[in-house]
Amino acid sequence: MKSFNVYNGGVKLLFGVNRLKELKRFLHGLSNVLIVTGRSSARISGALGGITGLLDELGIGYEHYDRVKPNPDKYVIEEIVETYRGGGFDGFVAIGGGSVIDSAKAARVVVAGGGVIEDYLYRRRSVPEDKPFLLAVNLTHGTGTEIDRFSVVSIPEKREKLGFGAGYPNVSIDDPRYTRTLPRSQTIYTSMDAFAHSVESATSILASPYTELLAGEAIKYIVEYLPKALRNPSNIGYRYWLLYASMIAGISIDHGITHLGHGIEHVLSAINPRLPHGAGLAILYKSLIRIFYKHIPVTLAKILKPLDPSLKPKPEDSEKALKAYLEFLERIGFDENLGTYGFGRDDIGEIVKLYMDHPVYRRYHRLSPFKIDRSMVREVIEEVL
Ligand SMILES: [Fe+2]
């Protein structure tokens, strides 16, 4: 298992086992940092102890904010900003998955640029170049946020969930040791988020041979190693490749962006914040794979080969591709649908309306390589209820 560094945008990412000790040179000069985490995963994974040990050794003070929840909302961001401003800090250390790292990214923008988070989400203010130092210690193999520039924040009262270009962390750590304690459900959800990043970034209007290459590689490793990691969760080799897949899929969305799948998923988890992002995507893809394949068969045949090597680059093979995807879900024991999260037929109208008409979600339409209409979105939801 090789250790290596990746540079993307403004971030330097240290990938591999036991890289924490190399952080010293990046932390020199800091005097007091705000550690941002969720409730327990930072401690359980061992990453929190590793970081605080290092900070103690370097004589850097810290305070610990541990209240980030899944699908973080503007109130969490406001609380982090307030804590930061009141504490005399000169940097952030985010230890967690997508929700934690995204929250720190968003709070750091408000700290640097002033105003409130909505100003940046609705693009009333531009994101400042100079922002406080941010170290991201990633604990899941899904979002890719440790290597990309995006942050996603919900506005609960408006039922909106918006992504924006918040800027890259300064330094990130991807250590597969910290993902071994991911629960079974999160192992599946985060991997399927990376799967969706691959498909969408390889097919959006911004897709390129580069994103196609990254997507094909990421899917290859997810298909091979997710079933193995579920059978043997503490195997560090399996986690290494899942983490590698999610990291390169993160670079892929940084260049190719996401579209239809993420757009609809953001509507769903804005309506029900208890829906994990990756679960929503895995569910939607039970229908979307067919649509993507019909419209973009050449790319899909290429990147989905690990699911079924006999796929031909023709729209007629869309059913075959869907069957291969559903068989993969069966192999990993994923049997959820939207009903699992309380969605029913009564919700279809609101979901379609939000996705098709709301300006926040219309942003995704222009990234799609094919035309999206109401009946398409309705059919997708009906099929996965
Ligand atoms: Fe995602």
Phi-psi region of 153 (alpha: psi -120 to 50; beta: other; left: phi over 0): beta
Residues with CB under 5 A from ligand 1 (ion): 193
* Residue 215 Cα to ligand 1 middle (Å): 14
* Residue 32 Cα to ligand 1 middle (Å): 32
- Is the torsion defined by CA of 92, 95, 101, 103 positive or negative? negative
H or E, element range at 230: helix 209-231
* Residue 222 Cα to ligand 1 middle (Å): 15
Candidate CATH numbers 2.60.120.380, 3.80.10.10, 1.20.1090.10, 3.40.50.880; the one for domain 182-384: 1.20.1090.10
Beta-carbon count within 10 A of 37 CB: 26
Helix (H, G, I), strand (E, B) or coil at 32: strand
CATH of domain 4-178: 3.40.50.1970
**CA nearest to 218, candidates 185, 188, 196, 186:** 196
- Contacts of 183 by beta carbon, 8 Å cutoff, 6+ apart: none
* Residue 61 Cα to ligand 1 middle (Å): 33
pLDDT in tens, the chain (385 residues): 999 999 999 999 999 999 998 999 999 899 999 999 999 999 999 999 999 999 999 999 999 999 999 889 999 999 999 999 999 999 999 999 999 999 999 999 999 999 999 999 999 999 999 999 999 999 999 999 999 999 999 999 998 999 999 999 999 999 999 999 999 999 999 999 999 999 999 999 999 999 999 999 999 999 999 999 999 999 999 999 999 999 999 999 999 999 999 999 999 999 999 999 999 999 999 999 999 999 999 999 999 999 999 999 999 999 999 999 999 999 999 999 999 999 999 999 999 999 999 988 888 899 999 999 999 999 999 999 9
* Residue 48 Cα to ligand 1 middle (Å): 25
Domain ranges of the chain: 4-178, 182-384
Phi-psi region of 346 (alpha: psi -120 to 50; beta: other; left: phi over 0): alpha
pTM of the full structure: 0.97
* Residue 380 Cα to ligand 1 middle (Å): 18
Strands (E) across the chain are located at: 4-8, 11-15, 32-36, 61-65, 91-96, 133-138, 150-155, 160-165, 171-174
CA distance 324 to 303: 13
* Residue 65 Cα to ligand 1 middle (Å): 24
The token pair that represents 90 in the structure block: 């000169």
* Residue 194 Cα to ligand 1 middle (Å): 7
pLDDT value of residue 364: 87
* Residue 278 Cα to ligand 1 middle (Å): 7
Question: Which residues are registered as beta bridge partners of 13?
Answer: 6, 172
Question: Which residues are registered as beta bridge partners of 35?
Answer: 64, 93
